[in-house]
Amino acid sequence: MQKKKILFIVPSLVIGGMEKMLVALANSQCRAGHKVTVITLNKKNDMGYMLDSGIRLIYKKPKTHRASKIPYIRHKLYDDGMWETRTTPEKLYRYYVGDKKFDVEIAFFRGLPIKIISGSTNKKAVKLAWVHNDFRKARGYKNNFRSMQQVFDAYASFDSVVCVSDQARKGFIKTIGDTGNTTTVYNMLPVEEIKEMAKEDAPLDIQRAILHLVIVARLEDKAKGQLRLIETVSRLHNEGADISLAIIGGGADYDAIRKRILDNNASDFIDLLGEKRNPYPYIKNADLLICASYYEGYNLTVAEALILGVPVLSTKCTGPNEILDNGKYGMIVNNDESALYNGLKNVADDPQILDYYRAKALERQSFFDESKLLKQITALFERNDRT
């Protein structure tokens, strides 16, 4: 394939699933010889160090009011600024991208990146939009747009809208409408890198019971369900189960989650460890990875656990359902606290269940074939190539 200039626009490079995918995809394109530029809309740059040295990383600061010289009011992470909402996509593109020419322009998240790239004046560029969540439950896709019609028109202007699961694609069409350009490409993971990083020394900052659980997710309970997981694990512990939980991640609900642990007198068996640049030793050394989410688009940690041969128990939601093939390769329970409790109780009562799902996790690893997924992504560049 002809070498290309590729642009990614993302809200930020904080530690998170979408950001991990950006790093993996950008690095793969750089290593293939393409010239890659990443523009972030937030100066927080926790994962920037993971980008290959050949990638150009640019932070584009928010536009300021010409009179007062102070920033417009904006969302703390996704840059929901007033000027960005009021102005046209074309003006946004000129401000955030300018006159630089790219062969492929990728809006890697909903909201402002979509509006920016939809205003591209580069007629030769292939435009791709990524959908990481089930829009039937996720928020933020209307950020910086005045109406749902504007959202629809923006997505319709892309060559392809790339959804990370079939359910995410269905949710997009149900919520936004059928733009006629959607496709499904599962998230590409750096499998060998994950396995190598997991070989680091076992973590020492955890309390480990006979049944040790781990959850790795942004600390946002309304999406990721950490509070109900704390309640469930506390109940099982109080009933006599030898169980422990490590919670890894950062986010707005850190204090609320910490308070719930203290309120449940659970500090002796539940650890709140914060963000970890390398969470893989924590996953590798757990007996079971938990996804307690209310909704998902894909859920990278479920895939990462399978890559490391670690059993998974997940609530029923988009992404994990497909990764686990509706329960064939991991345990899936209904999306409520009672079902989460019953699922974990079954494991606590019969630990041999874990042996079965360890074998199924290893069996599922071929699902994450990097070369196959990379071909699907680069085919989007070729299929839409314009001369």
Categorize the per-residue pLDDT at 330 as very low, low, confident or very high, splitting at 50, 70 and 90.
Answer: very high
Give the three-class secondary structure for 15.
coil
Residues 311 and 337 in one domain: yes
Residues 162 and 114 in one domain: yes
Residue 176 belongs to a domain:
yes
Rounded CA separation 227/232 (Å): 9
Pick from 185, 210, 226: which residue ends a domain?
185
Residues 200 and 100 in one domain: no
Residues 148 and 267 in one domain: no
Residue 373 belongs to a domain:
no
Residues 169 and 103 in one domain: yes
Pick from 160, 185, 210: which residue ends a domain?
185
Residue 51 belongs to a domain:
yes
Residues 335-371 pLDDT 10s: 999 999 999 999 999 999 999 999 999 999 888 888 8
Is pLDDT at 155 greater than 50 in this prediction? yes
Residues 226 and 346 in one domain: yes
- The per-residue b/e assignment along 250-285, b for 16 or more CB within 10 angstroms, e otherwise, is bbebbeebeebbeebebeebbbbbebbeebbbbbbb
Residue 222 belongs to a domain:
yes
Residues 331 and 273 in one domain: yes
Per the structure, how many domains does the chain have? 2
Mean pLDDT over residues 97-103, rounded? 94
Strand partners, 290: 313
> Is this structure's pTM higher than 0.85?
no
Residue 296: the pLDDT is: 86
Is 82 in contact with 73 (CB distance < 8 Å)? yes
Q: Which domain range does residue 9 map to?
A: 5-185
Residues 35-92 pLDDT 10s: 999 999 988 888 888 899 999 999 998 877 554 455 544 554 444 567 888 899 999 9
Rounded CA separation 210/233 (Å): 13
Residues 47 and 163 in one domain: yes
Residue 380 belongs to a domain:
no
Instruction: Find the CATH number of the domain harbouring 119.
Output: 3.40.50.2000
Pick from 185, 206, 224: which residue ends a domain?
185
Residues 133 and 71 in one domain: yes
- Angle among Cα 8, 300, 97 to the nearest 5 degrees reads 10
Residue 379 belongs to a domain:
no
Residues 60 and 139 in one domain: yes
Mean pLDDT is lowest, of 144-158, 189-203, 259-273, for: 189-203
Residues 111-147 pLDDT 10s: 999 999 999 999 999 999 999 988 988 888 898 999 9
Residues 221 and 173 in one domain: no
Q: How many CA atoms lie within 13 A of 96 on its CB side?
A: 36
Tokens of 183: 């496709």
Residues 281-323 pLDDT 10s: 999 999 999 999 998 878 889 999 999 999 999 999 988 999 9
Rounded CA separation 169/163 (Å): 5
Residue 31 belongs to a domain:
yes
Residues 156 and 237 in one domain: no
Residue 297: the pLDDT is: 78
Residue 118 belongs to a domain:
yes
